Chains A and B, each alone.
Chain A
Amino acid sequence: MKLERNAQSKRPALGPWAMAAVLATMWAVLAVLPATGGRFLTQGNLASLLSQSAVLLVVAVGMTFAVLIRGIDLSVGAGVALTGVVAGLVHVKCGLPAPVAILAALAAGAAIGAWHGFWVGWIGVPAFVATLAGFKAYRGAALVLSHATSITMGEDFDRLNRSIGAAATWGLVLGVLAIGIATVLREATRRKQLGLDALTTATVALRLAGQVLLAAFVLFVYGATGIPVLVLVAGAVALVGVFLLRRTRFGRHLYAIGGNPEAARLSGIDVKRATLYVYTLLGVLTAIAGVLAAARTNSVTPGNQGNLLELDAVTAVVIGGTSLAGGRGSVAGTVLGTLVFSTLSNGMNLLGIDSNWQWICTGMILLVAVLIDVLSKGKRS
């Protein structure tokens, strides 16, 4: 029996490659438009684009997991404020070192996430409602704890904005690239070992080319200046997210739960526990975003920090092709969705488009992304 290895069905409507093409087109257009004055595709602008994307990317990766299992988390923005305040208070008010402050924020984030997981998984409250409560409560808690005043974070947190240096960047990028190539080759050997059809040369070449291209892009932007810790953390979160969803049992179970929770349960998958893990993970990522946001501005403003970040994250996730009905999507898509989202605001700023018009454009783009999802689903059935 000859079987074709056609595209994996859990890929989103627009595969990552198509998404990458969309992003590349946007960049090409922005690069040649006279209005941007050729400033778009410069190393400096791309670096600031990535720095602007970092916080959003971290929460969007977490949001992908929640949306994949038919959930959502509306409390992300408020959570960013609250965990930022926790870090600030521990560091500034209690005078403890930054790493301790960061750990405290992560613990707070994990607790918030586990709390959501409990309500959604065990009590059966819709995620929308459970986290809408958090949307209100955590913002309030952040204001109460900080007495509604901004906290200035200080020197230690500023280190997160600094670069790790050019040499370390080259080492890191090449190291990760080596691991990536090794993974592709190892799968090929394992397939031979098990007597499966070898992957076609085109498939292997495409995968390797993708990795090399990505590494080259990172080195183009940061090869000379070195990569800032902030962007590094966001990149690491994305890589771990890709790994979790694509390679682990946990990730595969999430696709099953999102696709058909009843069938997943009857196959012996512990849906409650997986739900708990997903929201806890999202809570931790929210805290990481909280720390990064605090570092970027070197301050925490409890009333504004992360305002409406959850909606930007959902937008990025949906643009990235993850279905709000659950069961379909990918972290790679979300990374590209986040970049599309950031490119839009960055590009519109360069074009001098009024920020009110930017809102309208973003809204329209979101609808188009969902439309593509709906149309592709219609084709299936």
Chain B
Amino acid sequence: MIELRRIGKQFPGVRALHDVSLTIEPGEVLGLVGENGAGKSTLIKILGGVYPAGSYKGELVIKGRTQAFRGTRDARAAGIAVVHQELSLVPEMSVADNLVLGREPARLGLVDAATTEAFARDLVRRVLGDAAARELDLQMPVGHLGVGVQQILEIARALADHARVIVLDEPTAALTDAEIERLFALVRERRAAGTAFIYISHRLEEIRALCDRVAVLRDGELVAVIPPTEDPVPHMTGKELGDVHARRSFEVVDGSAVLRVANLRVNHPSLGGRAVVDNLSFAVRAGEVVALAGAMGAGRTATLSALFGVARAGATGSIAVDGKPVAIACPADAIAAGLAFVPEDRKAQGLVLGLSVADNLALSSLGRMSRLGIVDSPRVEQTALSRLRDLSIKVPGLGAEVATLSGGNQQKVVIGKWLELAPRVLLLDEPTRGVDVGAKAEIYALVEELTARGHAVVLASSDLPEVCRLAHRVLVLREGKLAGELAGAEVTQLAIMQLAVGTVPAAMANLGGIGEART
């Protein structure tokens, strides 16, 4: 019914999608899996009209007619609804008002409460059944409801638009088991009624339980469409079963721990009582790269943020640097303790885009370059120049706004702003996201050079080849808990992913030790 014909999408320096052809039939649930950066979200955005016609190659055909969406409204009108991870409900408005939002049953422009409620009640009854409709208070502000109910309301809204295809993007990330059951029941019921779903999830057991077919993306290409009973992991990583990712040999780093973290617990920002990181302990030695791996929401970023004193809802646990316990309540404390943080979103968190390259490089170390609070500008410029040289950052001029640099050079500025302080521990969160291949190699070389000089590095990354390339040891997190630790030759993409998704597929079980190295 919906047909993607040879879809391709190019970003500056990155080929996000290439030659993807796929059909979605009425009444089927199509699983969409792939590593981060494989092209799933790009595909969804093309389907949902976020990337308008003309900005991508190939054709999008619905019922034999080629579609040219100019925006999300067109996609919705054509029957495609996308339920994003970040819900698009208005928390302060009631259930009924949210359900009719954008399609208010108005007469002469006037919205009346009774009609609204009747419309909403009818919709809820159709979607959730009579029993649930009686339980749900339509006048309750949506913000007071659980995330699971909100997710279902989103789907209800999509059905109100008579959506033929509903895209669910990681819908279960924040749901309890009971809520997941309810969601699955709803999806199965609508499937029986002829609605098609595209289901994106990192949780392979859900894919297996719910989907009719599974499409696997890797590096922007559709590499396989397989039945749900088949293990998609080898397709996702591009490695044959048992193949070991080429990896340089790592000497075991011994010596005393530079960073020691004990019983770290990070509270969930909105759900009280839940933790995004639970009872995590680890140590990092001088000259060592320890990677935190795991699926989206497993607690990688939360761990780094907490170490740097920016956990929104608070964190507990103890942290010691060079054997001395430190109390970290804010980034300034963390910096004083010898930590440095390269956050995952460099534009939002790492850089002041409107300031010059020199000013950004001096951002965290102005104290060292001033006397009595007066900045020694020539010194700032000199330091910036030597940083540009050391990191081979390419800029039109020191006074150029950092916004004008390429992603790779911007990222090097974010790393460079810490070097003046000679931090003991570097916390790197997705250090190569959105940078081109050349800059990626340079950043890897930089990390290796820093560890050679005795810095300790904690790397959080969803890029498995990157983890395998850089890490001496890998801590795999699953739902905030340590799922396993891999070191030396045990570190393979396959082993990490198995620990991250938490199931050993049947095909793997008789292979013996998953992480067993064979060269």
Bound complex: CA of A241 vs CA of B324, how far in Å?
42
Interface contact A266-B382, CB-CB below 8 Å: no
Interface contact A195-B399, CB-CB below 8 Å: no
Q: A190-B378, A260-B351, A260-B353 are in contact. Are A252 and B359 (CB under 8 A)?
A: yes
Does any Cβ of B come within 8 Å of A156's Cβ?
no
Give every chain B residue within 8 A of A195 (Cβ-Cβ): 382
Contact of A6 among B385, B388, B400 (CB under 8 A): B400
Q: A264-B363, A266-B308, A266-B341 are in contact. Are A194 and B403 (CB under 8 A)?
A: no
Question: Whole-angstrom distance from the CB of B396 to the nearest CB of chain A?
Answer: 7
Bound complex: CA of A381 vs CA of B353, how far in Å?
11
Interface contact B352-A381, CB-CB below 8 Å: no
Residue of A nearest to B376 (CB): A190
Interface contact A5-B366, CB-CB below 8 Å: no
Give every chain A residue within 8 A of B351 (Cβ-Cβ): 260, 263
Contact of A259 among B310, B349, B352, B381 (CB under 8 A): B352
Q: A259-B354, A266-B350 are in contact. Are A3 and B378 (CB under 8 A)?
A: no
Does any Cβ of B come within 8 Å of A207's Cβ?
no
Bound complex: CA of A4 vs CA of B397, how far in Å?
5
Bound complex: CA of A188 vs CA of B308, how far in Å?
39
Interface contact B355-A262, CB-CB below 8 Å: no
Interface contact A267-B331, CB-CB below 8 Å: yes
Residue of B nearest to A191 (CB): B378
Binds A, one of B185-193, B198-206, B367-375: B367-375
Interface contact B359-A266, CB-CB below 8 Å: no
Question: Whole-angstrom distance from the CB of A187 to the nearest CB of chain B?
Answer: 6
Residue of B nearest to A244 (CB): B373
Per-position 1/0 for A257-274, Cβ under 8 A of B: 001101111111110000
Does any Cβ of A come within 8 Å of B464's Cβ?
no
Bound complex: CA of A260 vs CA of B363, how far in Å?
11
Interface contact B398-A5, CB-CB below 8 Å: yes
Bound complex: CA of A372 vs CA of B88, how far in Å?
35
Give every chain A residue within 8 A of B382 (Cβ-Cβ): 194-196
Interface contact B359-A10, CB-CB below 8 Å: yes
Interface contact B363-A5, CB-CB below 8 Å: no
Bound complex: CA of A98 vs CA of B206, how far in Å?
79
Give every chain A residue within 8 A of B308 (Cβ-Cβ): 266
Interface contact A249-B363, CB-CB below 8 Å: no
Does any Cβ of A come within 8 Å of B518's Cβ?
no
Interface contact A255-B397, CB-CB below 8 Å: no
Does any Cβ of A come within 8 Å of B395's Cβ?
yes
Give every chain A residue within 8 A of B385 (Cβ-Cβ): 3, 196
Residue of B nearest to A255 (CB): B355
Give every chain B residue within 8 A of A249 (Cβ-Cβ): 366-367, 370, 373-375
Interface contact A262-B349, CB-CB below 8 Å: yes
Does any Cβ of B come within 8 Å of A253's Cβ?
yes
Bound complex: CA of A192 vs CA of B308, how far in Å?
39
Give every chain A residue within 8 A of B489 (Cβ-Cβ): none
Restricting to A313-370, which residues have a CB under 8 Å from any CB of B? 327-328
Does any Cβ of B come within 8 Å of A8's Cβ?
yes
Give every chain A residue within 8 A of B370 (Cβ-Cβ): 248-249
Does any Cβ of B come within 8 Å of A202's Cβ?
no
Question: Whole-angstrom distance from the CB of B510 to the nearest CB of chain A?
Answer: 48
Q: List 7 A-B contacts (CB under 8 A).
A: A195-B382, A247-B375, A250-B373, A263-B348, A263-B352, A267-B331, A267-B417
The 10 closest A-B pairs by CB, nearest first: A259-B352, A267-B364, A268-B335, A4-B397, A267-B363, A9-B401, A260-B352, A190-B378, A194-B382, A9-B356
Q: Residues on B close to A: CB < 8 A?
A: 308, 310, 330-332, 334-335, 341, 343, 348-356, 359, 362-364, 366-367, 370, 373-379, 381-382, 385, 388-389, 395-401, 403, 417
